[in-house]
Amino acid sequence: MVKDRKGEQSTTLRPRSPEYIKEKMIENVLENFDFEKCHYVMTALKWHWFGRGVPTVEDLKHSARERLEFAIKGATDKKDRLPLNSYYFCSSGGLKATAWRNRYGHLEAINLEFVIAEWDSDGDYVTSNKNEDKTA
């Protein structure tokens, strides 16, 4: 928000300002993300949030905005020394928001995902696995 001359909050953001760009990026994601599909899957899986039941589409949108804003804040935090081409993410309740910043510390891109399953592995697992078959 920008303060006007009288000290009151103005809802007008300057075009091309970092805040304006951030807000437009969030709006674009929220307008195009398929929250209805997420709700359908969560209903089918009986995926409850915090004992409140399956979240509504509006709950999902609100949570998505929070995740996106948190990821953006983390990625653009000037005190954080993320290496070039790195990202910051925030996830909860199946929603995962990711934000990338450029080498100047400005917001580069954002992403929103609905994750129901994920797995990764690295070399540490392979070299430390004691149950490996010793026949080679």
Query: What integer pLDDT is reported at residue 135 of this predicted model?
Result: 54
Mean pLDDT of the chain: 85
pTM over 0.85: no
Query: What integer pLDDT is reported at residue 2 of this predicted model?
Result: 47
Label residue 120 left, alpha or beta by phi (over 0 means left) and psi (-120 to 50 means alpha): beta
Residue 20: count of CB within 10 angstroms of its CB: 14
Query: What integer pLDDT is reported at residue 4 of this predicted model?
Result: 47
CB hemisphere CA count around 103 (13 angstroms): 1
Extents of the domains making up the chain:
34-118
Return the higher-pLDDT residue of 127 and 117: 117
